[in-house]
Structures are given as structure tokens and as C-alpha cells.
């Protein structure tokens, strides 16, 4: 790589992928009430608190005409939250049905206080039995175990409860929204309660304590549709080098993770650890793609936008001026989809022709030259593509018949034509494929028989064939898994089988394989927990994200910038749920 590009590109060194569609729904919804009796919804959470933070995980949820029965279901961790999976619900985390969010957590003397809200993540209103009349109890949070000191000495007690009530076998301390005024409150779908001040008496000898709570409320009966399902879904997800973007079914764009140059598109350069919408952005996106330190998308009118780093003109305008919010790509073209690489981008027009712009020092724009372009340039070759995958420095397209063509960098054979010669125009790859993903310096694709084929660099085992030898033409991965989807990152690859199992292989220093370890894998290795059934998968520099068959999003691997979207910067070697906005 020429020295002139080395310093700038060192900060991404990674492949972002073209966005792929997710299913529009989350996991299979639980069965709704079977009669017209008003029902209780109870969500169980296990919580840990220190002197600086409070963190809870949702165990399960119950829906029953009896509040005790609903509590028993929730406490068992059963029913409606997938076994083995916990989702953070405090400090930016998320549950499937309820978000219990705390802010301004602080210890003054021996009083630990936090401002707490409850958000309704279901499709039904909270605090009402018929959908219109407020229940007197509104939403209550019951402490059914603890607080119990686990670090240091106690005791710790709840300092300012609203009262106690007979909930299980004895009276449990609770906080209530509204604050015990007997007027009730209805919290609509996606609605959030007012802030309640929680306080705990914490002696100086205590450093950590735990407690468990039930969030309990009335929900409407079956006659007004009380099937309880999560109300929030993402319809599309894409990974940049250290940031992630996703689109809601309402065509609203959300991004999280690294934001040094404005890749999140929210008007600043502050990173975020949970999905946040593009601040004040009225654009309705139909598709998005994350790049090195920038992102691109097309709106519902097929207009292309890019934002973030613009060192090489990859935003489709003048060179050098970064953009903190989405801006139109120059040239006036309309695209059905776009893909973002390390420092260039490509789009498909209505006829399937590919256009690219930005850096071109390795021929990644595919126009037959090595000249950079600040606006879309037509890729040479004339193929009409049905889909496009944009790697770090090479791109590939699939025709409707499954023929693959690639162009750009080919140092390690990533083009797949049997050579290591850079290609500045569309170059055919042998085989017929149904899914293709371009990585940093390698490519993987699923052929018509379900065999995963990979080619290019194999220094980390990313070709999945039990070796670390490069291959300049397609070679089958090891094993007998029948795949339907492919994903390629910086030095690791992944796929989803025809039965929804996720597998990854290659580099794993940050847990990006998702098998619970950080050991390199030379063959396809199952992602944990194995109970998850995936339909789609994406790979970034050193993190991976996937969607279940119902549309729930999970990520694993590197998380130094919050790119996993779980509200933390903790590296995760197994799949964790992404927080929803």
C-alpha cells in the first residue's frame, strides 16, 4: 500500500459490508390471552448495584389473569424471553418488553440515588385493563428479593419506597408510577413514565449489592388485542469498521459505536453505546451501509446520501470536509442500494449498473483507471447486478443468474480470478452463487448447492479450509454445513446455515467468532448460544452482528467504541442482545 495512504487508513483497516435486510419482526410472539379477562404483565429483572452504577437483566415475562401466576412465569425466566439470553435493561441496556432506565446514579454520604423510568416496549398500553381506563395501580416495581450485600458488609435497604403490598407470599416494597396518588397512569406503546427517585441506604462498608424486581402492570384483554409482542424492530442492519447502523421498519436510521468523524450521522463526533436516531433528520431511508469511518444510505426516493469521514471524497462531494449529518451524493444519480468500503462507496442504479466514487488507488471504483472520483463513476463491464457487496478495497456484484464479478485490489487473490493482479474493471469469478460478501482482502460466497466458497487472504484462517494458505480462486470451507448466507469482515468470515445456525471462522482475538472464546478458528465454528436461530449475519472489522429468524438483533466481538449496542464497552465472545431505541 502506498505510503501516502497508510497513515489515514490505519485507523479503519477494516471492511464494512453492504447492508442486508433483516426480518421485520422479533422472535416468535408469545401466545395471547385465551379469554376476555383483564391480564397482568409481569417482567422479572435481576439487578446488581455498585456505588456508581445499577445494572439489571431481564429474566422472563409472564402474562396471566392472576398477578401471582404472571409473576411465577416471569420469575422462572420462562415463557417469552429466549432461554439462555439476558438483555441489559438499565444504564442504556434493553429488555424485550420493558426498559428500566436509570440516570444520575450517585452516592451522597450513605444514600445511593438514581432517577429511574420505565419504558413500555410492547404493542399494548401499560396500566389499563381495557385500553382506555387507567388502572389505579399504574406501573409498579416490586422488590421481591434483596437488597442483599455481595461485596463488603451491610445491610442495604430501600430508603424511600412508596409502600409495601401483598404480591407473593408477603408484603414487598415497591415504587409506583404514578407516585401512589391512586389516579393511575396509562403508558402507551413506546411510552415512558415520568422519573421516579430511587434511594438506597448504603453503609460505607458495602461496595456491591444485588436485588430482584418485578415490573407489574395491567394490560388489555383479548378483545382489544392483548397479544404481547415487542413493539420495536429493526428491518436492516449494516456494520462499519467500529460502528453499526440499522434501520427501523419506519425507515428511521439508527447508528452506534465509533463516531470520530461523524459516521453515526447525529450531528456530532460523540460515540454512543446504544442505538440513537439521526438527530433531527427527516430523511426516510430505504437502505444503509457502514464504511470505514463513514456511512451511506438511499432514501425511499432512491436518492443517495453519505456522512462521516471524507478524506478521499467518499461522501460524493468535495474532498476533505467531513460531514456530521447525511448529505446528498453529487451527480444526481438515483440508486436502489449503496455499499461503503474503507474510503470509497458504490451504488446500483435502476438498471443494475454499478457506480462508484472516492479513493481509486487500487482500481476499486472499477472504471478502468486509478483516478479518484468525488462523484459516481460508471463501473466498466456493463453487467446488470441484482446485488452488490463492497469490501475494504475491492467490490463484487452478483447478477440475477448468480454470476459473480469483482474489481479492485487483488494483492491476495480476493478478486477470485486465479491471479493477484489488481483489476480495474468487472472481472468474472468461476461459479454460480446465491450470496456473496467482500471482506478486507478476501471474499466468501455461497454457491447454488449451499457450499461456502472463499478466496483471497487466509493468514488468519478466514477462508475456513483448515489452513492458512492463500487461495486466488474459490475454495470450499471445511465441513458439511449447508449455508444460505455469507459475511466477510477484516480477518474473519461467517455464514448462516439453511436451518438458521450461525458459524464463524478466522481471527478471534476479540471474540468475533462468537463461540465464547478468543482462540483462532480455521474451520466454521458454531456461534453461542446455540439456541438462537438466525436468518442474516454481518461482519465488521472485529465485531459481528446477526438477526434471528424473528428479527431480534445480536452482536458479539470487539466493543471498545460501543459498536455492539448493548450499552457497554465490554468485549463479548458470545452473542448479546442489541438495545432497541
The 3 state secondary structure assigned to 462-474 is CCCCCCCCCEEEE
pLDDT bracket for residue 74 (50, 70, 90): confident
> 439: phi > 0 → left, psi -120 to 50 → alpha, else beta; which?
beta
- In a domain, residue 30? The reply is no
22 has pLDDT over 70: no
Confidence (pLDDT) at 29: 30
491 has pLDDT over 80: yes
Note the pLDDT tens digit of each residue in 183-196.
678 998 778 888 89
Confidence (pLDDT) at 283: 87
- In a domain, residue 364? The reply is yes
- Output the pTM of the full model: 0.67
18 has pLDDT over 70: no
Most confident of 27-31, 244-248, 483-487: 483-487
Q: How far apart are CA 42 and CA 121, in angstroms?
A: 13
Are 77 and 18 in the same domain? no
CA-based Rg of the chain, rounded to a whole angstrom? 25
Confidence (pLDDT) at 91: 30
- In a domain, residue 34? The reply is no
- In a domain, residue 28? The reply is no
- In a domain, residue 27? The reply is no
Are 187 and 72 in the same domain? yes
Are 211 and 253 in the same domain? no
Domain boundary among 163, 197, 224: 224
The residue with greater pLDDT, 122 or 397, is 397
Are 8 and 90 in the same domain? no
Are 310 and 396 in the same domain? yes
Domain boundary among 224, 245, 260: 224
- In a domain, residue 140? The reply is yes
Confidence (pLDDT) at 117: 87
% of residues, the chain, pLDDT over 70: 83
- In a domain, residue 32? The reply is no
Give the total number of structural domains in the chain: 2
24 has pLDDT over 60: no
Are 136 and 263 in the same domain? no
What CATH number does the domain containing 203 carry? Answer: 2.60.40
268 has pLDDT over 80: yes
- In a domain, residue 31? The reply is no
Note the pLDDT tens digit of each residue in 531-575.
888 888 999 999 999 877 656 788 999 999 999 988 889 999 999
Note the pLDDT tens digit of each residue in 344-355.
999 999 999 999
Q: How far apart are CA 264 and CA 275, in angstroms?
A: 10
pLDDT (average), residues 271-278: 79
Are 75 and 158 in the same domain? yes
Are 17 and 101 in the same domain? no
460 has pLDDT over 50: yes
Q: How far apart are CA 290 and CA 58, in angstroms?
A: 30
Q: How far apart are CA 179 and CA 175, in angstroms?
A: 7
23 has pLDDT over 60: no
302 has pLDDT over 90: yes
Cα dihedral sign, 120-126-132-138: negative
Confidence (pLDDT) at 77: 56
Are 347 and 381 in the same domain? yes
Confidence (pLDDT) at 480: 96
Q: How far apart are CA 107 and CA 208, in angstroms?
A: 13
Domain boundary among 171, 196, 224: 224
What CATH number does the domain containing 289 carry? Answer: 2.130.10.30
Confidence (pLDDT) at 2: 29
Confidence (pLDDT) at 198: 94
Note the pLDDT tens digit of each residue in 26-62.
222 333 333 345 578 888 888 888 888 887 777 777 7
Domain that holds residue 290: 3-22+233-577
Are 479 and 557 in the same domain? yes
The residue with greater pLDDT, 162 or 557, is 557
Are 11 and 151 in the same domain? no
Q: How far apart are CA 463 and CA 471, in angstroms?
A: 8
Are 247 and 134 in the same domain? no
The residue with greater pLDDT, 223 or 73, is 73
257 has pLDDT over 60: yes
Least confident of 50-64, 162-176, 378-392, 405-419: 50-64
Question: Chain-wide mean pLDDT for the chain?
Answer: 84
Amino acid at each position: 500500500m502506498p505510503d501516502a495512504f497508510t497513515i489515514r487508513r490505519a485507523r479503519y483497516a477494516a471492511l464494512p459490508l453492504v447492508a442486508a435486510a433483516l426480518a421485520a419482526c422479533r422472535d416468535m410472539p408469545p401466545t395471547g390471552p385465551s379469554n376476555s379477562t383483564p391480564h397482568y404483565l409481569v417482567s422479572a429483572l435481576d439487578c446488581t448495584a455498585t456505588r456508581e452504577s445499577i445494572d439489571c437483566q431481564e429474566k422472563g415475562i409472564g402474562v396471566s389473569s392472576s398477578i401471582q401466576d404472571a409473576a411465577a412465569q416471569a420469575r422462572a425466566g420462562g415463557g417469552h424471553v429466549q432461554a439462555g439470553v439476558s438483555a441489559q435493561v438499565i444504564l442504556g441496556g434493553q429488555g424485550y418488553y420493558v426498559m428500566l432506565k436509570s440516570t444520575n446514579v450517585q452516592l451522597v454520604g450513605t444514600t445511593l440515588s438514581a432517577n429511574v423510568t420505565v419504558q413500555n416496549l410492547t404493542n399494548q398500553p401499560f396500566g389499563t385493563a381495557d385500553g382506555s381506563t387507567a388502572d389505579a395501580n399504574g406501573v409498579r416495581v416490586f422488590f421481591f428479593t434483596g437488597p442483599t450485600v455481595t461485596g463488603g458488609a451491610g445491610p442495604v435497604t430501600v430508603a424511600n419506597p412508596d409502600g409495601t403490598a401483598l404480591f407473593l407470599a408477603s408484603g414487598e416494597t415497591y415504587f409506583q408510577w404514578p407516585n401512589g396518588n391512586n389516579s393511575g397512569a396509562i403508558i402507551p406503546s413506546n411510552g415512558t413514565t415520568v422519573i421516579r427517585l430511587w434511594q438506597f441506604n448504603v453503609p460505607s462498608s458495602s461496595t456491591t449489592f444485588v436485588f430482584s424486581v418485578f415490573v407489574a402492570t395491567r394490560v388489555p384483554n383479548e378483545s382489544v388485542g392483548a397479544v404481547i409482542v415487542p413493539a420495536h424492530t429493526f428491518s436492516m442492519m449494516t456494520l462499519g469498521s467500529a460502528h453499526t447502523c440499522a434501520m427501523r421498519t419506519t425507515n428511521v436510521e439508527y447508528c452506534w459505536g465509533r463516531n470520530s468523524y461523524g459516521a453515526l450521522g447525529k450531528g456530532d463526533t460523540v460515540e454512543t453505546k446504544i442505538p440513537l436516531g439521526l438527530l433531527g433528520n427527516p430523511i426516510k431511508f430505504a437502505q444503509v451501509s457502514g464504511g470505514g469511518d463513514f456511512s451511506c444510505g438511499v432514501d425511499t426516493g432512491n436518492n443517495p446520501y453519505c456522512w462521516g469521514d471524507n478524506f478521499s471524497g467518499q461522501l460524493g462531494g468535495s474532498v476533505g470536509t467531513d460531514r456530521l449529518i447525511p448529505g446528498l451524493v453529487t451527480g444526481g444519480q438515483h440508486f436502489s442500494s449503496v455499499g461503503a468500503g474503507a474510503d470509497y462507496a458504490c451504488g446500483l442504479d435502476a438498471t443494475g449498473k454499478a457506480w462508484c466514487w472516492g479513493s481509486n488507488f487500487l482500481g476499486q471504483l472499477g472504471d478502468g483507471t486509478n483516478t479518484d472520483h468525488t462523484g459516481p463513476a460508471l463501473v466498466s463491464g456493463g453487467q446488470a447486478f441484482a446485488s452488490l457487496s463492497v469490501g475494504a478495497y475491492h467490490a463484487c456484484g452478483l447478477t440475477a443468474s448468480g454470476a459473480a464479478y469483482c474489481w479492485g485490489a487483488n494483492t491476495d487473490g480476493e478478486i477470485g480470478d486465479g491471479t493477484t493482479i489488481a483489476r480495474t474493471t468487472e472481472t468474472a469469478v468461476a461459479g454460480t452463487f446465491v450470496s456473496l460478501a467482500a471482506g478486507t482482502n478476501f471474499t466468501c460466497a455461497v454457491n447454488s448447492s449451499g457450499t461456502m466458497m472463499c478466496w483471497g487472504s487466509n493468514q488468519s484462517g478466514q477462508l475456513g479450509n483448515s489452513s492458512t494458505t492463500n487461495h486466488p480462486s474459490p475454495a470450499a470451507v471445511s465441513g458439511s454445513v449447508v449455508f444460505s448466507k455469507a459475511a466477510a469482515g477484516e480477518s474473519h468470515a461467517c455464514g448462516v446455515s439453511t436451518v438458521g445456525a450461525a458459524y464463524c471462522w478466522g481471527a478471534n482475538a476479540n471474540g468475533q467468532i462468537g463461540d465464547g472464546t478468543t482462540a483462532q478458528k480455521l474451520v466454521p465454528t458454531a456461534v453461542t448460544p446455540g439456541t438462537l436461530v438466525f436468518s442474516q449475519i454481518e461482519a465488521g472489522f472485529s465485531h459481528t452482528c446477526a438477526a434471528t429468524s424473528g428479527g431480534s438483533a445480536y452482536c458479539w466481538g470487539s466493543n471498545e467504541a460501543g459498536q455492539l449496542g448493548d450499552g457497554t464497552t465490554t468485549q463479548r465472545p458470545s452473542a448479546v442482545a442489541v438495545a432497541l431505541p
